[in-house]
Amino acid sequence: MTGASTPRWQTGPSLAEPLPMTLRVYQKLTAGFAPLATLLIKRRLKQGKEEAARVDERRGVAAHVRPHGPLVWIHGASVGEVLAAAGLIERLRALNLRILLTSGTVTSASVVEKRFPPDIIHQFIPYDAPRFVARFLDHWQPSLALFIESDLWPNLILASAARRLPMVLINGRMSQRSFPRWRRAAATIGTLLGKFDICLAQSRMDAERFSALGSRNVITTGNLKMDVDPPPADPARLERLMAVTRGRPVIVAASTHPGEEEILLDVHRTLTGVFPTLLTVIVPRHPHRGEQIGGLVEAVGLQTALRSREQLPTAATAVYVADTMGELGLFYRLAPIVFMGGSLIEHGGQNPIEAVKLGASIVHGPHVSNFSDVYRALDDEGGAFTAGDVDALVRRFGQLLSDDHARQTSIDAATAVVERLGGALDRTLSALEPYLLQLQIEQGAADA
């Protein structure tokens, strides 16, 4: 196996280095956070950002017994990172390794429950206070830690390193926006990144940025999201939706953010001059915004229906608000044209790969820094199209709605790009091979 470092457990202890002032101050401040955790939890419960039955996990209190033998701990911030690890988790399970999966959002916990095998242990990541982190690590005693992308909590990383826990940053991403900010805190980020044995970066640019910030053993493995299976859809629900929309042109606006729906409603009203039966499906990134979006639709004189109310679109429905969790696979299969949200505002764009894998022609705004390499490749090959305002969106949607050949050509091009950019899962597993071999040896001894 080429490029991976020797696992830390084989290298012997390294000399302790003094922490930069920023991290020492952070540790002291967060040491006093524990008494305030109750207030934070109460506020987050009111905001729907915590599960009442699981708040103790935020204090590092485990909800499950630790399984026997070696344990691989995988951490991702939210839904996208968790799903990116799906293929990796499947391969690790095939090696008879136990998995602890942590994340920080209610939506990601829901996705794990719906889409992952029941033997995958999910826990909410503890708040980054030394007491909570220590409690978490004392209970789980992970054998290997895999951090996805860039969710780096200082106490969690420093405490794990102090316990000589091998850590690998996988699917590493350092955005153009984040990089200069971290450069201004070079000692801080350099210390944290230096605790990882390997950094597996999504792209050559990400690899260069991680190296510049202090990562060691940086390897470009590609984007794991390219290898993720498309999201599932309930066949009966899909058939019912297709029945009530049959004969109508349909556009899906996926994972939209505030400020985008107003633009998309203007686009819809203009397009209906040529496509009078057009149905626009808006799938908000945060489903709790469904009522608000429904109000925006009604305010411009259009009829709407909300999926959270178990409503289906009728012939009179102009805009269908799909404000439910875990049904993007359903709507990607429903429509041949998908607008990717988070790209008309400076959010950085949402992941287009799942939509491509389900046969959609992609339209997006100009702000796609979160997936810049993917969008650049799609745009260059004609697999996706940039449109930054109402007029441009109207022209692009109009072309794709009226020209079946142009739409299919873009779908074929997008599919070819995603296939070409795949393979990150195999490269990631190759880089992890020394660690996994060691864990398999330990698992065999534990099972004997």
pLDDT tens, position by position, 140-179:
999 999 999 988 999 999 999 999 999 999 999 998 889 9
pLDDT above 60 for 15: no
* pLDDT of amino acid 7: 54
pLDDT above 60 for 211: yes
pLDDT above 90 for 67: yes
Q: How confident is the model at residue 17 (pLDDT cuts 50, 70, 90)?
A: confident
* pLDDT of amino acid 150: 86
Q: Is the pTM of this model over 0.75?
A: yes
Domains and CATH numbers, the chain: 51-227+424-443 (3.40.50.11720), 235-421 (3.40.50.2000)
Tens of pLDDT, residues 97-137: 999 999 999 989 999 998 899 999 999 999 999 999 999 99
Q: Which residues contact 340 (CB under 8 A, 6 or more apart)?
A: 254, 255, 349, 350, 351, 352, 355, 362, 363, 364, 368
* pLDDT of amino acid 448: 72
* Exposure letters 382-406 (e unless 16+ CB within 10 A, then b): bbbbbbeebebbbebbbebbeeeee
Active-site annotation, residues:
81
**Mean pLDDT of all residues in 273-279:** 98
Whole-number mean pLDDT of the chain? 94
For residues 48 and 72, what is the distance between their CA atoms, to the nearest angstrom?
29
* pLDDT of amino acid 2: 37
pLDDT > 70: percent of the chain: 96
Give the H/E segment covering residue 105.
none
Residue 201 burial (CB count, 10 A):
27
pLDDT above 70 for 394: yes
